[in-house]
Amino acid sequence: MTDIIELHRSFWQMKNTEPLIELHEYAPLSRDTKIPLSDGRLVSDDVVLYPELIDPKLFVREIRNDGKASPIYGDFIRAMAPQDLCWTQALVGCPIRVNAGKVWAEPFLEDVTKIDLSSLKTNDKWLEKLLEFTRVLVEVSSGRYPVVQPLFRGPIDMAASALGPDKLCIAAYRHPDEFGGFLDFCSQTFIDAFNHQANLIPQFYDGYCCEYGIWAPKPICRDQADHSVLISPQLYEKVFLRHDLKIIDSSEYTTFHLHSATVHIANILRKIPKLSAIQVSIDYPAKAFSPPVEELMPTFKEIQKSKPLIITGPVTGKELSLILDELRPEGLALKPSIMS
């Protein structure tokens, strides 16, 4: 483990002479995931989730029998995170529903200009459920694996869930000032939830990990802006960037998750001194919004001029060879799934 820790330390410093790498076979996501509820039901469609229906112990039952699994896979560390239950959207007030085996957040705001900012409050029941989930994982892991932040959607994604994507775009263009107040609430809710959870997570080899299985000496925050696919880089910079900067400035280590369909904001992000790394998930199949891997290479190279780069997602063998041949190993981490 000591060798892995030192390898990860060199990754953040962009001094590793070989990329961090772990390969696995591409397998499309299953659509029939069932969510165990505390009342004994296993649900996969058209059920609204409430905090009292979530028993974290039902989600981690299998982990108790997996104590012999190695904490290392490839060049990465096996991490444990609370189940993705749309935590940040739930915290700002979105109803959470299971549909088609996936957990979704639904809109609850009609008009951004009519929001009473003074009445906005974090949903304490969902926050306590996140912390309960974290405590259970800490107990189950028993120090064998690091416990990490679950998938937190960033301010633009929280707002898109709360308003709906169409109203998000209208608000950003027509009502940026009123909208900014709600985005402030979203970013502060994100930060508070991250800090509350981080206070419960013990150190792992004198440091902490992120969901990508990379170690750092301080807690690692992960931010994202998936709904930037709907807007221009100029509008992102004008309306949304300051709220992500607030999150980035709140942690010593922050990674920013992008899709290959949202790399149009990468040039903005790579110039943020406090941002520790950028992670890009390659979307497949690359059609309407996502450029193919060959066209992503210039963006990847620009990111590497100033930031460590983490690449995930499905690629062909030819595309992986292109990535290995053209990108610098320093500050590069690869976790692709290989398509046959």
pLDDT at 68 exceeding the cut of 70: no
Tally of domains within the chain: 1
What is the average pLDDT across 203-220?
A: 97
What is the average pLDDT across 314-330?
A: 96
Q: State the pLDDT at residue 287.
A: 59
pLDDT at 66 exceeding the cut of 60: no
Q: State the pLDDT at residue 179.
A: 96
**Percent of the chain surpassing pLDDT 90:** 86
> How far is Cα 125 from Cα 92, in angstroms, rounded to an integer?
11
pLDDT in tens, 275-295: 999 999 999 765 567 888 999
pLDDT in tens, 82-139: 999 999 999 999 999 999 889 999 999 999 999 998 999 999 999 999 999 999 999 9
Q: Does residue 183 contact residue 163 with C-beta atoms inside 8 Å? A: no
Write down the mean pLDDT value for the chain.
Answer: 94
By residue range, what is the domain housing residue 272?
A: 2-339
Q: State the pLDDT at residue 21.
A: 97
Split at pLDDT 50, 70, 90, the class of 67 is low
CATH number for the domain spanning 309: value is 3.20.20.210
Q: State the pLDDT at residue 340.
A: 76
Q: Which residue has the higher pLDDT, 169 or 31?
A: 169
pLDDT at 37 exceeding the cut of 90: yes
